[in-house]
Structure 1
Amino acid sequence: MPVALPPVRRLSAALLIALAAAPVAAQDDPRHNEIKDLDELVVRATPLPRTAEDLTRPVEVLAGSRLDEAKAATLGDTVNRLPGVQSSYFGPGVGRPIIRGLDGARVQVLSDGLASGDVSTVSVDHAVSIEPFLANQIEVLKGPSTLLYGSGAIGGAVNVVDGRIPERATGAPLEGRAELRAGSGNDERTGMLRLDGTSASGNLVFHLDALHRETGDYDIPGYAESAALREEEHGDHDHEEEDGHEEELAHGTLPGSAVRTDSGALGVSWVGERGFVGVGASLFNSRYGVPGHSHAHEEDEHGHEDEEDDHDHGDEHGHDEEHGDGVSIVMDQRRYEVRGGLDRLGAFDTLRVKLARTEYTHTEYEGRDIGTVFDNDSTELRAELTYRDWAGWDGAFGLQAWERKFEAIGEEAFVPASDSRDVGLFWIGTRTFGPVDVELGARHDRNRIEVVEAEAIGPSRDFDATSLSAAARWHFGEDVHLSFGLDRAQRSPTSEELYSNGLHVATRSYEFGDPQLDRETANRAEVGLHWHHGPFRFGASVYAVDYRDFIYLADTGIEDGGTPARVWTQADARFTGGELDLQWTFLENASGRWLLRGFGDAVRGRLDGDGTREVSFAVPHGDHFHNYTTDIALDGNLPRLAPWRAGAELRWEGAQWRAGLGAIRYARQDRVAQYEDETPGYTLVNANLAWHLDTRGGQALELFLDGTNLLDEEARPHTSFLRDLAPLPGRSVSAGVRLFF
């Protein structure tokens, strides 16, 4: 029997009723702040205020000039130089974080503690609806974060702190930052503005931000198609004869890789001595091409016929401009938020309540025609009640509830419409026993996925997920500590894993879900060492995760009309890996501060079962089906796993100048899954240079120059479904100006 879940809106109204005067919570200063030690920043992804240095679980933070240097058009590209973090890739408009080899539905992407509200977990061609250029701080929680954010964070979480709803008064009546930049490799033009201000009374605080970005098709070192694919399809020729015409292969520039993005937000808060209450509205609109794709509808290949889709979603949001002949995507998100907080609540320390309503539409165009439309409307509520010194324990109780209505419209809508609801309760507590800091936590979620066409696709499902965590940090002294972590985390299957059924054009494959999938359970153990003494900083960690009933997309080896078939299935799996980060400030004198950094990470993912599993599926062809049955191996490597890599960086920081030169080597990935090809390794070299000038009144001017892939090397990430069709961008140089006031 379905379990009735508390309505999110009714529950949120009851919790927000008391928030009439506002909290004194640390809000990041939007003006430029040269941060010397990122470990000293307070991490906002956890309800207990702790710095990155003090947290018992592994975390990475980007802020200040380090964030300025790392910022890219996608969130994945922004964080992919951090140890243990890489990025997916589906063209320059799509890049989602991969944490320790896990991505998609296992990595939660958050906007200041609430889910982004997009559908980037449904398909690899769907972008994350968060703009990194508008962030104050980006936090990456590595390892299971299910205690705080539910089963969608079983692999980790990325929290983008944007401060769009102010929580305290600003230091000046008006402050902010602006940036203009231009890039050579794709003709980029980006402009960004952020303003924060406080009324004369000090109680009314506002926030405003806006961004516009346009890029053309980007330059590549050689051919768009990989050498292996050219050899397979064209032999030794760079073109092929078709109907008496020569088809030239893309070379030097990647067609269909242009991007245009607009983002903006307005937030207003009433701030008092004991709390705050604020409201905000934001939009995110992105139009980007899908390189290497064309939606062919030949009846003899896929069993589809050309039809004119009569949906008007493209014009609904004003996107009536002409589209090219290839495949492009228009995504539009409108988001409305209410946040509030109270401090000093008797036995409790603080109460924080967040409520967000998100309306999201994703439209795929085939030339000028609409192919498929994805609609996703979601509502999320989060409440956190913290306390201090209860029998020596500091901690927090939390409630998280969300509901989501998802619908895909069009002949290539391979995921059925569904309604999903979830309610989770959690507790987290910390205490110090002499030289040992201890953190314990527990969470339970109740999730329901209700399919609109259950009789045709499969039954609606209910899941319970329980997660437990224990972590400890043992301080040997002021300079060194050893950390331990044990987690038991569970994740419920997603609607696409359960109910996918048809052609998924983005991956050029048929995908078939399994309505009988069970929840997956991860048991993790991790040991880490951190040493910081004088000019030296050293960090290392090793971990192992045993998954029971790990859900993954397996290649069947069967092709129907030249299109491969893949099935969602599950088997036991084991992940092992490690990370290393070393920094040495080898010189600090009148010439400036010189720092050398090196890092490396590696992860191995293997199925841990025996024998094979029989799977059956039916490929539609008009009014009939092709039925297939085959066996899937339950051992071997997992598909599309990130390779090991190692990087080094030399940095110099003077009174007004700073510069950096770095390189990252991505190894050849030869530990591949069944039916998967190896991917060559590559090296990416990047550099940056900036000149900073402080002026009167706390204002500042900064001129910068950034270079990426300076060796113009052909790079094809093994994690990308497009690796044989679309390499990473070639050499590019960006220049611009930043203003802080």
Structure 2
Amino acid sequence: MTQPMPRFAPAPLSVALLACLAAPAWAQDARHAEPKDLDAVVVRATPLPQTAEDLARPVEVLTGQRLDEARASSLGETVARLPGTQSSYFGPGVGRPIIRGFDGARVQVLNDGLASGDVSTVSVDHAVSIEPFLANQIEVLKGPATLLYGSGAIGGAVNVVDGRIPEAPTTEPLEGRAELRAGSVADERTGMVRLDGTNAAGNLVFHFDALHRETGDYDIPGYAEHQHADGDEDHDEDHDDHHDEEQVYGTLPGSALRTDAGALGVSWVGERGFLGVGYSLFNTRYGVPGHAHEAHGHDEDDHEDEDEHGHEEPAEDGVHIVMDQRRTELRGGLDQLGGFETLRVKLAHNEYTHTEYEGEEIGTVFDNDSIEGRLELVHQPLAGWDGAFGLQFSRRDFSAVGEEAFVPDSKSRDTGIFWIGERSFGALDLELGARYDQARIDPDFASATAPDRDFDTTSLSAAGRWHLGEEVHLSFGLDRAQRAPTAEELYSDGLHVATRSWEFGDAQLDPETANRAELGLHWHHGPLRLGAAIYHVRYADFIYLADTGVVDDDAPARVWNQADARFTGGELDLQWTFLENHTGAWDLRAFGDIVRGRLDGDGTREVSFSVPHGDHTHDYTSEIALSGNLPRIAPARLGGELRWQSASGNWRGGLGAVRYASQDDVAEYEEETAGYTLVHANLAWHRDTPGGNAWEVFVDGGNLLDREARPHTSFLKELAPLPGRNVSAGLRLFF
């Protein structure tokens, strides 16, 4: 079966962008106020209105200028320079947040409190259906967030706030922002616009946003495939003449990307509440690097397949993905409702289709139809406790048809109830919470080897802040969280094309239980801010994908297994305004993080599995060690950044570097990864106009030393390095 590759015409979005850039000055003041203190920003991921400074739980917030400077094509890359947070990597279109070594089904990605509704946890080549360029604020909750968002957040959560359904009138009748940018490493072209407005009566508020991005295959500083020449992990150019001429060099085929996103929302806002509805789409097409290297030479100027805009099309024999999501949301809020201070209701329905092409042939089609609802009731003080009750439910119908349908069709149902409360005892602020969930997974064609499964999970949490003075406080956290297995962990059975491996689930897996203890310090003395944390997590029945050592048809066989495990880590973040005079304000920031993940069991476990080959199978038995290092654990990092803002406030800039340590604490059959250093910089000129609008010209640079970088967290690290030197520039307009 063949089907032509869909093409996305950027004309409508381009017209909208140009119209916005030519718009008259409706507003009376600029819309780009940078929060002086990110800790003072209200965090929306929790039902109780608290700032990052007030929360007893560890949280990081990106907004304003810091978010503008961090925005990238994937959510994982956008938050990757926050302490304790890194990114997975499967090409520029796919990057999921990794929090303190946890990723995939342990990190929940949220769209203002509701799940994104994609299938990014099913496979590492599946993208997150949230566009960072359209976000107002991004919140990273470190440590278990199961209390608020269920078992999928046992490792943390990332909440993207985009304001697509307005909850309050705008300051002016019409306000918004737009951005145009171009990048060098992949010939990037990105444009976005957002508009928010209110009618004359002040009770009808609307929102509109749109984005178009397209890039070609990106440049790399050397060979695509990792060269293990003479055991030298630095890959010096001295060895280049020893490489096979057929190896891909200079440009990575299969790394092109095109994305369209947009939304329209409208709300009625009254004195005591609001009711709004929104509709959004996310449509992306991206290549999967590493699947067509043998078909390309190493001539960087050989671009045989280009569209009319000069961007490379995926090669006919390459693997590429077309993903489409349509999302409908209903949100409402009511204040002063009997014995409750506020009521918030959120409901989202997602229609998601993900098609994987091998050339023009359809390989696999994933469909995910889901609905999720959430109700939050903030009650008036009870026995001195401020708190909130919550109810959450979700329904998911998942299907996969084609070559990569290694997970059977299934229906998943989850329902959870929770309570969270806080109270001050003098210098001690205490937060307690509890949650109970019921989950059910029904695979199609249930059988003795793939039965229906029901799970009950319970999470308990205690966190506190002890104020030793106005400038310093200690924090602590104690959690007991549980996670139910996912359908792919239970029922996988076949070839996983994206990772080039055979993958086998275990339908008898039990819920995993995590017990966490954390101790933190926060010190703020004049221009100096210091934050530090150490944590330890012990898992009972930790679920992980174990390599068996068996290789069949050049593909390793892996099985989902359970064993006890432990994670230990720490973070440090230092910010110092060391000079403030007529030259402006000069800030120095340094951060570091480290995590170690190990299995904590004894002995080995015998596993048996069968690899299908047409009308027959190959049967295997293997021993899996229940101790040792866990695979793909994020390496330690050390980063620094010098920031400057002129006394007038018109200029700002920064120069920084992040050193990723080598990772040699690897699992059995896993390759070690060399360390690397990434240097970045930014410069912007901001100008307020007499009419109250503002515009900004910016230049950003990434990997300025053009180093080869292979993330240890990536399944593609041996085949696809990160992009080389990139310089992007553009214009932002605020009105």
TM-score, scaled relative to structure 2: 0.91
Pick one of 647, 665, 679 that aligns with 1:685: 679
For the 8 Å contact 1:372–1:413, the answer to whether it is kept is: yes
Pick one of 610, 623, 632 that aligns with 1:618: 610
Counterpart of 2:18?
A: none
1:568-583 pair list within 5 angstroms: 568-583=560-575
Question: How has the CA–CA distance of structure 1 residues 236 and 260 changed in structure 2, closer, same or farther, with 3 Å as cutoff?
Answer: closer
Deviation at 1:457, TM superposition (A): 4.9
Counterpart of 1:522?
A: 514
Please give the alpha-carbon distance, in whole angstroms, between the structure 1 residues aligned to 2:202 and 2:348. 26
Counterpart of 2:383?
A: 391
Residue 529 of structure 2 is aligned to residue 537 of structure 1: yes
Pick one of 279, 282, 288 that aligns with 1:281: 279
For the 8 Å contact 1:265–1:280, the answer to whether it is kept is: yes
Deviations 1:91-134 (A, max 9, x none): 00000000000000000000010000000000000000000000
* Aligned residue type for 2:275: V
For the 8 Å contact 1:331–1:362, the answer to whether it is kept is: yes
Residue 714 of structure 2 is aligned to residue 720 of structure 1: yes
Please give the alpha-carbon distance, in whole angstroms, between the structure 1 residues aligned to 2:184 and 2:624. 47
Deviation at 1:388, TM superposition (A): 3.0
Counterpart of 1:658?
A: 652
Please give the alpha-carbon distance, in whole angstroms, between the structure 2 residues aligned to 1:601 and 1:715. 18
Counterpart of 1:586?
A: 578
Please give the alpha-carbon distance, in whole angstroms, between the structure 2 residues aligned to 1:619 and 1:456. 19
Counterpart of 1:95?
A: 95
Please give the alpha-carbon distance, in whole angstroms, between the structure 2 residues aligned to 1:674 and 1:453. 35
Question: How has the CA–CA distance of structure 1 residues 618 and 165 changed in structure 2, closer, same or farther, with 3 Å as cutoff?
Answer: same
Please give the alpha-carbon distance, in whole angstroms, between the structure 2 residues aligned to 1:30 and 1:62. 20
* Aligned residue type for 1:658: R
Please give the alpha-carbon distance, in whole angstroms, between the structure 1 residues aligned to 2:416 and 2:30. 33
Counterpart of 1:698?
A: 692
Deviations 1:312-353 (A, max 9, x none): xxxxxxxxx986320000000000000001001121100000
Counterpart of 2:322?
A: 330
Counterpart of 1:423?
A: 415
Deviation at 1:453, TM superposition (A): 1.8
Question: How has the CA–CA distance of structure 1 residues 210 and 230 changed in structure 2, closer, same or farther, with 3 Å as cutoff?
Answer: farther
Deviations 1:236-266 (A, max 9, x none): 97666xxxxxx62110100110000000000
SS in 1 for 2:193: strand
Question: How has the CA–CA distance of structure 1 residues 569 and 116 changed in structure 2, closer, same or farther, with 3 Å as cutoff?
Answer: same
Counterpart of 1:168?
A: 168
Pick one of 604, 607, 617 that aligns with 2:599: 607
Deviation at 1:36, TM superposition (A): 1.8
SS in 1 for 2:447: helix
Question: How has the CA–CA distance of structure 1 residues 724 and 30 changed in structure 2, closer, same or farther, with 3 Å as cutoff?
Answer: farther
Please give the alpha-carbon distance, in whole angstroms, between the structure 1 residues aligned to 2:231 and 2:183. 33
Please give the alpha-carbon distance, in whole angstroms, between the structure 2 residues aligned to 1:339 and 1:129. 20
Please give the alpha-carbon distance, in whole angstroms, between the structure 2 residues aligned to 1:567 and 1:229. 31
1:307-326 pair list within 5 angstroms: 324-326=316-318
SS in 2 for 1:454: coil
Please give the alpha-carbon distance, in whole angstroms, between the structure 1 residues aligned to 2:701 and 2:330. 40
Pick one of 558, 567, 588 that aligns with 1:566: 558
CA-based RMSD: 1.6
* Aligned residue type for 1:664: V
Residue 358 of structure 2 is aligned to residue 366 of structure 1: yes
1:247-258 pair list within 5 angstroms: 248-258=246-256
Deviations 1:603-639 (A, max 9, x none): 0000000000011110000011101011100000000
Counterpart of 1:33?
A: 33
SS in 1 for 2:32: coil
For the 8 Å contact 2:256–2:314, the answer to whether it is kept is: no
Consecutive unaligned residues of structure 2, counting only runs of 5 or more, are 1-28, 233-238, 295-312
Deviation at 1:208, TM superposition (A): 0.1
SS in 1 for 2:94: coil
Please give the alpha-carbon distance, in whole angstroms, between the structure 2 residues aligned to 1:322 and 1:646. 36
Counterpart of 1:668?
A: 662
Deviations 1:347-379 (A, max 9, x none): 110000000000000000000110000000000
Aligned length: 681
Deviations 1:505-564 (A, max 9, x none): 100100000000000000000000000010100000000000000000000011012210
Question: How has the CA–CA distance of structure 1 residues 154 and 70 changed in structure 2, closer, same or farther, with 3 Å as cutoff?
Answer: same
1:24-423 pair list within 5 angstroms: 31-228=31-228, 248-294=246-292, 324-423=316-415
Please give the alpha-carbon distance, in whole angstroms, between the structure 2 residues aligned to 1:228 and 1:491. 39
Instruction: Say which is worse superposed, 410-419 or 157-166, in terms of deviation.
Output: 410-419
Question: How has the CA–CA distance of structure 1 residues 224 and 385 changed in structure 2, closer, same or farther, with 3 Å as cutoff?
Answer: same
SS in 1 for 2:61: strand
TM-score, scaled relative to structure 1: 0.90
* Aligned residue type for 1:86: Q
Question: How has the CA–CA distance of structure 1 residues 345 and 236 changed in structure 2, closer, same or farther, with 3 Å as cutoff?
Answer: closer
Please give the alpha-carbon distance, in whole angstroms, between the structure 1 residues aligned to 2:240 and 2:197. 63
For the 8 Å contact 1:440–1:469, the answer to whether it is kept is: yes
For the 8 Å contact 1:295–1:327, the answer to whether it is kept is: no
SS in 1 for 2:363: strand
For the 8 Å contact 2:437–2:458, the answer to whether it is kept is: yes
Please give the alpha-carbon distance, in whole angstroms, between the structure 2 residues aligned to 1:447 and 1:342. 30
Please give the alpha-carbon distance, in whole angstroms, between the structure 2 residues aligned to 1:468 and 1:92. 37
SS in 2 for 1:147: helix
Deviations 1:72-95 (A, max 9, x none): 000000000000000000000000
Question: How has the CA–CA distance of structure 1 residues 37 and 322 changed in structure 2, closer, same or farther, with 3 Å as cutoff?
Answer: closer
Deviation at 1:201, TM superposition (A): 0.9
Please give the alpha-carbon distance, in whole angstroms, between the structure 2 residues aligned to 1:610 and 1:395. 43
Counterpart of 1:313?
A: none
SS in 2 for 1:47: coil
SS in 2 for 1:39: helix
For the 8 Å contact 1:580–1:599, the answer to whether it is kept is: yes
Please give the alpha-carbon distance, in whole angstroms, between the structure 2 residues aligned to 1:333 and 1:457. 33
Deviation at 1:699, TM superposition (A): 1.1
1:642-653 pair list within 5 angstroms: 642-653=634-645
SS in 1 for 2:147: helix
For the 8 Å contact 1:323–1:368, the answer to whether it is kept is: no
For the 8 Å contact 1:30–1:176, the answer to whether it is kept is: no
Deviations 1:441-461 (A, max 9, x none): 000000000000212751010
Please give the alpha-carbon distance, in whole angstroms, between the structure 2 residues aligned to 1:103 and 1:644. 16
SS in 1 for 2:148: helix
Please give the alpha-carbon distance, in whole angstroms, between the structure 1 residues aligned to 2:671 and 2:432. 43
Please give the alpha-carbon distance, in whole angstroms, between the structure 2 residues aligned to 1:295 and 1:614. 36
Consecutive unaligned residues of structure 1, counting only runs of 5 or more, are 1-28, 241-246, 297-320
Please give the alpha-carbon distance, in whole angstroms, between the structure 1 residues aligned to 2:257 and 2:672. 30
* Aligned residue type for 1:172: E
Deviation at 1:231, TM superposition (A): 8.8
Please give the alpha-carbon distance, in whole angstroms, between the structure 2 residues aligned to 1:468 and 1:696. 55
For the 8 Å contact 1:30–1:177, the answer to whether it is kept is: no
SS in 2 for 1:358: strand
* Aligned residue type for 1:289: G
Question: How has the CA–CA distance of structure 1 residues 485 and 30 changed in structure 2, closer, same or farther, with 3 Å as cutoff?
Answer: farther
